[in-house]
Amino acid sequence: MIRIYGIRNCDTMKKAIAWLEANGIAHEFIDYKKAGVAASHLPDWNRRAGWQTLLNTRGLMWKKLTDEQRSGVDEAKALALMAEVPSLIKRPVLDAGAQLLVGFDPERYARELAR
């Protein structure tokens, strides 16, 4: 079963879930803020996708951080920030077992999930 992690009211999440449903792909949605699973999953996601891919530096939450929090970001600092503020994780994070897809790209979903 595919697990898709994110935040329910995110527009990108809505698009990804709509794509999965339109393509008949069974999935389980997990709101990582409400379920509190972001911190426990970050080490695995980082190993599979890399912290640079996971860290959303284009979103509103990144802009709300202080200059000090945003400066000198390395792997340890990024993981700590994402654990503390899960909204900093790029959405969605789709775990299909062999693949971990971060962000929504319909062409990539079609290519990777059709296997």
Predicted TM-score of the model (pTM): 0.91
The count of residues in the chain is 115
Q: Active-site residue numbers?
A: 10
| CA atoms within 13 A of residue 68's CA, in its CB half-sphere | 0
Kindly give the pairing relationship between strand 93-95 and strand 27-31.
unpaired
The count of domains in the chain is 1
Structural domain of residue 100, as residue ranges?
2-113
**CATH number of residue 41's parent domain:** 3.40.30.10
One pLDDT digit (tens) per residue for the chain, 115 residues: 899 999 988 999 999 999 999 999 999 999 988 888 888 999 999 999 999 999 999 989 999 999 999 999 999 999 999 999 999 999 999 999 989 999 999 999 999 997 5
Q: Which two tokens stand for residue 70?
A: 């945003």
Report the C-alpha gap between 16 and 22 in whole angstroms.
Answer: 10
